[in-house]
Structures are given as structure tokens and as C-alpha cells.
Structure 1
Amino acid sequence: MNLKRTFGAVLTVLGIVGLIYTAVSFVQHSADVRTAIVIGVLGVIFFFTGISLVRTTKDEA
């Protein structure tokens, strides 16, 4: 497996975790709004960067 694809998968998982944390904190009103927005934006960036790396990297045997 290519290193870029592995890194893309890790970034995708981190993005999903960030988005889930943001959604839960907004629903429960448990976190500071500024912190939740920052984590949400970073989650979106990580998610789309990871998806892009996985999609554009070719498999080489």
C-alpha cells in the first residue's frame, strides 16, 4: 500500500472524528463555540484532503 494512501486514510479518519466531535458539542451545548468552530473547520480540511489523497494516488504494484 502506498504511503500517500495511508496518510490520506489517516487524515480522513481524523476529519471524521473532528466533525463528529463538533456535531456532538453543538448538540449538547457543552463546548465553547469558537473551539467547536475551529475543530469543525480543521475536520473539514482534514476530511477533504484525505479523500483527495486517496482518490488521486494510483496503485502501483
Structure 2
Amino acid sequence: MNIKKILGLVLTLLGIGGLIYTAILYVNGSGEFKILAVYGILGAIFFFSGMGLIKRLGSSNE
């Protein structure tokens, strides 16, 4: 397996984990807005960068 595909998978999974953690904190009401924003933004960045990397590698003919 290509190292870039593994990195894309890891980034995507970290992003999903961050977004789920943000949702859990929000539902429980145990998070301040700043903390929720930081986790949510970082989760979104990781998720979309991982998905973009996977999509870009999937469309190339290596």
C-alpha cells in the first residue's frame, strides 16, 4: 500500500474522530464554545484533507 494512501486514511479517521468528539461534547453540554470550535475546525480540516488526498490519489494513474 502506498504511504500517501495510508496518510489519507489516517487523516480521514482522525477527522471523523474529532468531529464525533465535538458532537459528543456538544450534546452533553460539557464544552465551552471555544473548545468545541477548535475540535470541530481541526476535525473538519483533517477530514477534508484526508478525503482530498484519497480522492486525488484515486484519480491518478500511478
Q: Give TM-score, length-normalised by structure 2.
A: 0.88
Q: 1:43 to 1:11 in 2, by over 3 A?
A: same
TM-score by length of 1: 0.90
Which residue of structure 1 aligns with residue 55 of structure 2?
Answer: 55
Aligned equivalent of 1:17: 17
CA drift at 1:32? 2.0
With over 3 angstroms needed to count, the CA separation of the structure-2 counterparts of 1:42 and 1:51, relative to structure 1, is same
Deviation at 1:59, TM superposition (A): 6.0
Return structure 1 stretches of 4+ with deviation > 3 angstroms: none
Tell me how many residue pairs correspond in the alignment: 60
Bigger shift: residues 6-15 or 32-41: 32-41
Instruction: Report the Cα offset of residue 33 of structure 1.
Output: 1.7
What percent identity do the matched residue pairs reach? Answer: 48
Q: State how 1:22-41 maps to structure 2 within 5 Å.
A: 22-41=22-41
Q: CA deviation at 1:12?
A: 0.1
Q: Where do 5+ consecutive residues of structure 2 fail to align?
A: none
Structure 1: runs of 5+ lacking an equivalent? none
Query: What is the alpha-carbon root mean square deviation over aligned residues?
Result: 1.2
Report the AA paired with residue 37 of structure 1: A
